[in-house]
């Protein structure tokens, strides 16, 4: 009787495994993303891009079947950590990937080290993240990668007085500090340095404080997903009409929300790694396929981070011949270079961080839609904060 029960349980388990198509030697990729809550636009964009990559490139690599697991952490770092633990121990993932915000990526770093599981950061941007584990590599960006070119451009183009306005957490601090250092070194002046809360911010009083100082421009960092409300409140104070310009890294004018921001955002100048308007055959094919697979949704820079992250993981697996130990995979990742929808990119073999072009863009209306139109390129930018530490 007992034996029969066991047999039944075993065959039921087998039937389940067969139904889901899962096998023990399948390769699992675990994405931890904010699918709900304030950062959900990042989760939605990244998940769509990872799925698109698999549609286009198949679910087999190096002769093994790949399974994509997407888990929602709501951008809460305790959740990211708990989910990562579960993915490593129970699912035995070959890679952890994603992370909508820096605190989530940082919370998982010790687990990546302990489990020797590569952590592919496809969304977060604080410089220090890649230094927190030898198993971390990044396909997103760092804030300083954009803010230093932004500061150079502003100083050379008649912007003299700036009020800095950033979300009060690690990437905001990186953005404000790296912009101010470069901008003041090039002769610019920071009139005021304002921070506002990351969670549910009301920007109005901070915008008023900035407006009262009559700057040439406000330098803004808000994480992707918050730009719509920021620009709305900027316009409500008449700051666009007063001739105060918006400059900053491109998170504030991200492609997910840009088209809904309307006229007040026209002429905003940002420095960033990706625009859906980027003029290359690779990008045009990516944007078309992404829109087609997602009811016309336009990809933003987070989508490109995930798409490139998938490329990185597939290529690493090809190089190791399907071997999934962390040391082999990380060795395969170092120095990898390819053509992304954003342009040419590579992984710095010393830092495991991304090297990429940064583009200066202005918001224009094109065929009835708002786009960040690129007009100047800073080629092959390494993270300036890590580069400065090395000197
Ligand atoms: C981050 O938390 O590192 C982050 C999130 C969203 C952004 C940029 C940076 O747009």
Taking the C-alpha atoms of residue 96 and residue 118, their distance in angstroms, rounded to an integer, is 6
Tens-place pLDDT, residues 297-348: 999 999 999 999 999 999 999 999 999 999 999 999 999 999 999 999 999 9
Q: What is the pLDDT of residue 18?
A: 45
pLDDT at residue 19 tops 90: no
Mutate to test the pocket of ligand 1, among 74, 101, 139, 144 (most ligand atoms within 8 A of CB): 101
- 23 pLDDT tier (thresholds 50, 70, 90): low
Distances from the Cα of 277 to the Cαs of 42, 48, 92, 189, in angstroms?
Answer: 19, 19, 39, 32
Q: To the nearest whole number, what is the mean pLDDT of the chain?
A: 94
Minimal-distance CA residue to ligand 1 atom 7? 223
From 46, 102, 222, 256, the mutation candidate for ligand 1 (largest count of ligand atoms within 8 A of CB) is 102
User: What pLDDT does 16 receive?
Assistant: 46
Q: Are 166 and 175 in contact (CB under 8 A)?
A: yes
pLDDT at res. 42: 97
Q: Is 81 helix (H, G, I), strand (E, B) or coil?
A: helix
CATH code of the domain occupying 2-141+279-352: 3.40.50.2300
Where in the chain is CATH 3.40.50.2300? Answer: 2-141+279-352, 143-272+357-390
Q: Which atom of ligand 1 is nearest to the CA of 302?
A: 10
Q: What is the mean pLDDT of residues 96-114?
A: 98
Instruction: Return the CATH fold of 143-272+357-390.
Output: Rossmann fold (3.40.50)
pLDDT at 159 over 60: yes
**Predicted structure pTM score:** 0.94
Mean pLDDT in residue range 79-101:
98
User: Distance from the CA of 370 to the center of ligand 1, in angstroms?
Assistant: 22
Top-confidence residue, 20 or 63: 63
What's the CA-to-centroid distance between 45 and ligand 1, angstroms? Answer: 13
Rounded Cα distance, 249 and 199, in Å: 20
Is the pLDDT at 12 greater than 70? The verdict is: no
Protein residue whose Cα sits closest to atom 8 of ligand 1: 223
- pLDDT of residue 152 exceeding 50, the answer is yes
How would residue 3 be classed by pLDDT, with cut points 50, 70 and 90? very low
Q: With 70 as the cut, is the pLDDT of residue 383 above it?
A: yes
pLDDT band at 387 (very low <50, low <70, confident <90, very high): confident
Return the closest-CA partner of residue 356 out of 286, 303, 304, 285.
304
Dist CA 295 CA 50 (whole Å) = 16
Distance CA 142, CA 144 (A): 5
CA-CA distance, 220 to 39, in Å (whole number)? Answer: 18
Residue 6 pLDDT > 70, yes or no? no
Confidence of residue 22 (pLDDT cuts 50, 70, 90): low
Angstrom CA distances, 130 to 16, 81, 113, stand at 39, 17, 12
Question: Ligand 1 atom closest to Cα of 104?
Answer: 2
- Which ligand 1 atom sits closest to the C-alpha of 103? 2
In the prediction, which pLDDT does 226 show?
A: 94
Chain segment 137-151, per-residue pLDDT in tens:
999 999 999 999 999
pLDDT tens digits along 259-286:
999 999 999 999 999 999 999 999 999 9
Indicate whether 15 pLDDT > 70. no
């Amino acid at each position: 009787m007992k034996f029969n029960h066991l047999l039944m349980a075993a065959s039921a388990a087998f039937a389940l495994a067969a139904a889901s198509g899962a096998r023990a030697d399948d390769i699992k990729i675990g994405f931890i993303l904010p699918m709900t809550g304030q950062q959900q636009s990042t989760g939605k964009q990244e998940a769509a891009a990872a799925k698109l990559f698999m549609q286009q490139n198949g679910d087999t690599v190096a002769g093994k079947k790949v399974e994509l697991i997407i888990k929602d952490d709501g951008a809460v770092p305790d959740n990211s950590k708990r989910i990562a633990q579960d993915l490593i121990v129970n699912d035995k993932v070959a890679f952890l990937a994603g992370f909508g915000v820096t605190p989530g990526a940082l919370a998982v770093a010790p687990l990546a080290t302990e489990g020797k599981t590569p952590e592919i950061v496809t969304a977060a941007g604080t410089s220090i993240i890649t230094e927190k584990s030898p198993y971390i590599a990044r396909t997103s960006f760092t804030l300083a990668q954009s803010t230093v070119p932004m500061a150079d451009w502003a100083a050379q183009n008649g912007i003299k007085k700036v009020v800095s306005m950033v979300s009060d957490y690690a990437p905001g601090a990186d953005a404000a500090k790296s912009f101010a250092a470069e901008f003041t070194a090039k002769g610019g002046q920071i009139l005021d340095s304002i921070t506002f809360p990351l969670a549910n911010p009301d920007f109005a009083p901070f915008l008023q404080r900035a407006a009262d100082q009559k700057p040439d421009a406000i330098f803004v960092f808000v994480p992707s997903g918050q730009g719509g409300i920021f620009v709305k409140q900027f316009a409500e104070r008449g700051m666009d009409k007063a001739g105060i310009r918006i400059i900053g890294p491109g998170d504030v004018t991200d492609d997910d929300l840009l088209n809904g921001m309307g006229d007040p955002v026209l002429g905003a100048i940002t420095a960033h790694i990706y625009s859906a308007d980027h003029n290359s055959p690779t990008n045009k094919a990516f944007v078309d396929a992404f829109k087609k697979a997602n009811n016309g949704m336009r990809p933003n820079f987070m989508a490109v981070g995930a798409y490139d992250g998938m490329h990185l993981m597939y290529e690493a697996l090809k190089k190791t011949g399907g071997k999934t130990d962390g040391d082999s995979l990380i060795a395969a990742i170092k120095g990898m270079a390819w053509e992304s929808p954003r342009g040419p990119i590579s992984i710095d073999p010393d830092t495991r961080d991304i090297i990429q072009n940064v583009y200066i863009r202005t918001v224009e209306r094109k065929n009835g839609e708002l786009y960040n139109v690129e007009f100047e390129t800073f080629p092959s930018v390494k993270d300036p904060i890590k580069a400065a530490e090395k000197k």
